[in-house]
Amino acid sequence: MSFVATILTLYPEMFPGTLGHALAGKALAEGKWRYDAVNIRDYAQDKHRSVDDTPAGGGAGMVMRADVLARAIDDVSNDTRPRVFMSPRGKPLTQERVRALAAGPGAVILCGRFEGVDQRLIDSRKLEEVSIGDYILSGGEVAAQVLLDSVIRLLPGVMGNVHSGLEESFESGLLEHPHYTRPQEFEGLSIPEVLTSGNHAKIETWRREQSVALTRERRPDLWQAWETRKNARSKGEKQR
């Protein structure tokens, strides 16, 4: 059984978009995941096929209608897949959430446009609001592709080298160490000597130190959390 994404959007032609290429595209061709991009407008019932209306209480822009969206969601999600609404007000996406989604049957993903969607739809259909960062996009389609890209690479059999997934930034709670490859000399700059030493234990230690230093400098929030976990672990070991 492969991962199935149902995407509700006003722009189904935007899919698979980037997901039709490279790693995700190959996985799609191999049937490791499937998608269905559903046009929300197909669920409009008036003669203008309208999906949005002016905001109650006034103000700029338009709001997507709850009744139209409810018909669309109810039609496509009569299963156990999580129902996600891409939204800047949502919980920021994390590698942990990505991993959990990749272990599941798929997702129904609603892409917003305009000012957003009627709150009654979010509440009544119990949508999980997910943000891809603290900035505003013009629509949820790119955000949905970001979410799906991060999930698809974790699906079974998609990444050739399973090991490389485990060493990635965030998987250990730290940012990843720097990478180097040939040529040995580039514009007068050499590859750090330890990496060409052949001493694997030393290389591991160096990479670990680089990871910690980089995380501490760039993401004190992640470093703090990692330190706390590390201390809790060593305390637990001493008690045993």
Q: Which residues are documented as binding site?
A: 112, 132-137
| Cβ nearer to ligand SAH, comparing 1 with 136 | 136
Shortest spacing between CB 7 and ligand SAH, in angstroms: 12
> Which residue's CB comes closest to ligand SAH?
112
Q: Strands 3-9 and 33-39: what pairing? A: parallel
Length of the chain: 240
Q: Residues marked as binding for S-adenosyl-L-methionine?
A: 112, 132-137
Q: How far is residue 68 from each of residues 108, 141, 203, measured CA to CA in Å? A: 16, 18, 57
| Cβ nearer to ligand SAH, comparing 15 with 226 | 15
By the 8 A CB rule, do 139 and 11 touch?
Answer: yes
How many CA atoms does the CB half-sphere of 76 hold within 13 Å?
Answer: 27
Shortest spacing between CB 134 and ligand SAH, in angstroms: 7
* Residue of 128, 63, 145, 124 whose CA lies nearest to 92: 128
* Residue of 97, 82, 94, 98 whose CA lies nearest to 154: 98
Provide the binding-site residues for ligand SAH, judged by CB under 6 A.
86-89, 111-113, 115-116, 131-133, 135-137, 139-140, 143
| Cβ nearer to ligand SAH, comparing 50 with 199 | 50
| β-bridge mates for residue 53, sequence order | 63
| Cβ nearer to ligand SAH, comparing 131 with 172 | 131
Shortest spacing between CB 40 and ligand SAH, in angstroms: 12
Q: Across the chain, where does the E strand assignment appear?
A: 3-9, 33-39, 52-53, 63-64, 83-92, 106-111, 128-131, 185-186, 189-190
| Cβ nearer to ligand SAH, comparing 137 with 222 | 137
* Residue of 37, 39, 46 whose CA lies nearest to 148: 37
Backbone angles phi, psi at 13, to 5 degrees: -70, -10
Shortest spacing between CB 93 and ligand SAH, in angstroms: 8
Shortest spacing between CB 147 and ligand SAH, in angstroms: 8
